[in-house]
Copies of this chain bind each other. A is one copy, B any other.
Amino acid sequence: MTLRPCRTSLSALLCVYTSCLTSAGLFAADDPLPSWNDGTAKSAILNFVEATTTEGSPDFVPPAERIAVFDNDGTLWAEQPLYFQFLFALDRVKALAPEHPEWKEKEPFASLLKGETKAALAEGEKAILEIVMATHAGLSTDEFDQAVRDWLATARHPTTRRPYTEMVYQPMLEVLTYLRANDYKTFIVSGGGVEFMRVFAEKTYGVPPEQVVGSSIKTKFEIRDGTPVLVRLPEVDFIDDKAGKPVGINSHIGRRPIAAFGNSDGDLQMLQWTAAGPGKRFCLFVHHTDAKREWAYDRKSIVGQLDKGLDEAKAKGWTVVDMKADWKTIFPAE
């Protein structure tokens, strides 16, 4: 933005206004995506929202159908060095260890308690499932909510030392706000646990619990001493990942989104499902390209692998965010 020399304060104001309009196209203060550098990704978002919300536009979509879905891990908040919910589970193993003396002899817990995470995970999925069930089941929904709340209040990210709820992407927070300001309903559709995410999604992202879709374990309604409770059972209910995402969207939202934001192959089917509907559609992958300010990983990564998705995005002309080039800032200011 450049300013012309002006004499009076009133004409100065008008002058600033004019120069803004002519040089940058709009006031900086009016830019709904100030943490985005100008470029194809930012333009694509702005153009899509304008096209779908301008009455009379051939691509106009009525407000009720403005459904946008967002993956969480790697799309709204970071996911390195490991998915944050898994770090919660590891912390919880330590916290629960005094109640489980048998864990000293029992894998994967014995290795975890010795700090040997890699050895603990040697059995892969089986070990992960055991850790998740031991730390996420057996308590009521209210108790679990409190456990997550307590952890988020005190736990710190291993490398940045920031609270996990500050490890969120400022540019994506702006997209969420921008969409909602344009009468979009924003949903989270994540492989993460639905009851884990709901604890912070409203405050952190402005997404209310009823707009969070995720993986779940089964729960059972019981009356305990006259009080109804929902008990979390050690049994998988639904995995909201890959081909599960369109299933979860259909089950919870019941209509097809018109915009979808992801970052990994786990989101590919969600984007395919979104893209396949009639009318204008928007699909975006966040590509982690910034080893300095965040992490750089894609095709070979265990966490958040983006391989097939990257190819399909190119083939179909979906928007790919180059985190390093497209984002002015990554995380909110401390």
Q: A221-B269, A273-B221, A276-B228 are in contact. Are A210 and B254 (CB under 8 A)?
A: yes
Contacts of A246 in B (CB 8 A): 221, 228, 230
Cross-chain contact B243 with A210 (CB below 8 angstroms): no
Would you give the 0/1 interface string for A254-291, flagging 1 where the beta carbon is closer than 8 Å to chain B?
11000000000000010011001000000000000000
Do A247 and B221 form a contact, CB below 8 Å, given A210-B254, A210-B255, A255-B210?
yes
* B-contact bits for A203-239, CB 8 A (1 contact / 0 none): 0000011111000100111010001101000000100
User: Is A47 part of the binding interface, using a Cβ–Cβ cutoff of 8 Å?
Assistant: no
User: Is B228's CB under 8 angstroms from A210's CB?
Assistant: no
Chain B residues, CB < 8 A from A273: 221, 228, 230
Of the candidates B221, B227, B243, B272, which one forms a contact with A220 in the assembled complex, judged by CB atoms under 8 Å apart? Answer: B243
Q: Does A195 contact B (CB under 8 A)?
A: yes
Given contacts A228-B276, A269-B228, contact A255 B221 (CB under 8 A): no
B212 and A254 form a contact (CB under 8 A): yes
- Mark interface residues in A183-218 (1 if CB within 8 Å of B CB, else 0): 001010000001100100010000011111000100
B251 lies within 8 A of A194 (CB): yes
A181 at the interface (CB under 8 A from B): no
Q: Which residues of B contact A252 (CB under 8 A)?
A: 210, 252
Give the shortest distance, in Å, between A71 (CB) and chain B (any CB): 16
User: Given A247-B230, A276-B227, do A209 and B254 touch, yes or no (CB 8 Å)?
Assistant: yes
Closest to A232 in B: B250
Q: Which residues of B contact A219 (CB under 8 A)?
A: 247, 250-251
A70–chain B nearest beta-carbon distance, Å: 15
Indicate if A29 sits at the interface (CB-CB under 8 A).
Answer: no
Q: Across the interface, which residues of B come within 8 angstroms of A272, CB to CB?
A: 223, 228
Q: With A and B bound together, what is the CA distance between A216 and B252 in angstroms?
A: 11
